[in-house]
């Protein structure tokens, strides 16, 4: 979507950049010329991704560099290591993509305290630790940085069976708005993306395992009748991390094929056949005529 070289000179840290959506967004940022530090717990996974992104067939001239540094986002010392290594290699940091997450589907009453903590710690604590560390660096160095948080649509609607994730994503979303209000004076912007279903191994293994996968079709509730494509999300993420979105802050952009609209009370009526609509129309018109007659009488 953006022109070639649109992110040249920018350095972005992508948490969870070794897999799934973080990897796809990192790929696009690198193609656009950004230097990208990818970090997550598994060094072997991020090393392999860094190698892949640096050696892609058709890699454009002017594509960015990739640095892979292991980091558990629950650990401030490891976050500070990522920040110092990134500055040492690329000179500065312009953007932070908080994309790391943990999640699995479960009735809430089956969760141990530790299970609940594990999700909230990765998603909420990890997001505010990283944002705080990078934000302090930006304020101290007068850099107008940009944070982009990968949220979910249920961060605002709520959802059963993923309650720790909903709690944590909801908290991170409120942080996005709150800090956008507070740090605007430093030129720092914070936005979020709320994706609908975008197939990744990480999400599908934990949210649509068998027998759930055979029982439900995630596209059935989506007005556009399909899941998202990674390139569609990467376009939006690159735009929100770029200077082209310079007047947008505190915003959450939903990219879900209209899935959240399924909550509308009558939105499921696509199951009604054309013949049934003929009958319904006649029934309503009959009721209209009857009520008119009552008015005349």
Which residues make up the interface to ligand NDP (CB under 6 A)? 15-16, 18-22, 40-42, 45, 71-74, 99-103, 122, 126, 150, 152, 195, 197-198, 200, 202-203
Whether 16 and 49 have beta carbons less than 8 Å apart is answered as: no
Question: What are the structure tokens assigned to 175, written together?
Answer: 């942080």
Judged by CB under 6 A, the stretch of 97-105, 221-229, 256-264, 269-277 that binds ligand TC6 is: 97-105
Which residue's entry shows tokens 């940085």? 145
How far apart are alpha carbons 186 and 138 in whole angstroms?
8
Shorter beta-carbon distance to ligand TC6: residue 116 or 186: 116
Q: How far is CA 287 from CA 173, 271, 294, in A?
A: 47, 23, 11
For residue 91, the tally of other CB atoms under 10 A from its CB is 10
Active site residue 28: no
x/- map, 181-220, ligand TC6, by CB under 6 A: ----------------x----xx--xx-------------
Q: H helices of the chain, where?
A: 20-31, 43-54, 76-90, 113-120, 126-141, 154-157, 163-183, 201-207, 212-215, 230-241, 274-296
Q: Binding to ligand TC6 by residue 74, rule CB under 6 A? A: no
Q: How far is the CB of 90 from ligand NDP (least distance, A)?
A: 20
Q: Binding to ligand TC6 by residue 111, rule CB under 6 A? A: yes
Binding ligand TC6 (rule: CB under 6 A), the pick from 18, 64, 102, 145 is 102
Residue with nearest beta carbon to ligand TC6:
102
Of 28, 154, 186, 239, which one is the catalytic site residue? Answer: 154
Catalytic residue positions, numbered: 154
């Amino acid at each position: 979507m953006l022109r070639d070289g649109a992110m040249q000179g920018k350095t972005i840290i992508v948490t969870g950049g070794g897999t799934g959506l973080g990897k796809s967004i990192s790929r696009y940022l690198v193609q656009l010329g950004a230097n990208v530090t990818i970090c997550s717990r598994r060094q072997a996974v991020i090393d392999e991704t860094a190698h892949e992104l640096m050696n892609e067939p058709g890699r454009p001239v002017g594509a960015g560099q990739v640095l892979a540094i292991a980091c558990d986002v629950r650990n401030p010392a490891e976050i500070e290591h990522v920040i110092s290594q990134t500055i040492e290699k690329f000179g500065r940091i312009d953007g932070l993509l908080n994309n790391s997450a943990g999640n699995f589907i479960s009735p809430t009453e089956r969760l141990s305290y530790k299970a609940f903590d594990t999700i909230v710690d990765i998603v909420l604590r990890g997001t505010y630790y990283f944002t705080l560390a990078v934000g302090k660096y930006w304020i101290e160095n007068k850099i107008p940085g940009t944070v982009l948080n990968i949220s979910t649509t249920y961060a605002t609607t709520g959802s059963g069976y993923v309650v720790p994730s909903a709690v944590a994503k909801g908290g991170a979303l409120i942080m996005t708005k709150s800090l956008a209000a507070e740090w605007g004076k430093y030129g720092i912007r914070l936005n979020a993306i709320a994706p609908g279903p975008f197939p990744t191994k990480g999400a599908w293994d934990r949210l649509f395992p068998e027998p759930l996968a055979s029982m439900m079709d995630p596209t059935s509730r989506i007005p556009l009748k399909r899941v998202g494509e990674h390139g569609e999300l990467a376009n939006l993420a690159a735009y929100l991390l770029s200077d082209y979105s310079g007047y947008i802050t505190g915003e959450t952009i939903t990219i879900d094929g209209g899935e959240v609209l399924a909550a509308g009370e009558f939105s499921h009526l696509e199951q009604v056949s054309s013949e049934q609509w003929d009958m319904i129309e006649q029934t309503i018109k009959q009721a209209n005529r009857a009520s008119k007659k009552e008015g005349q009488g």
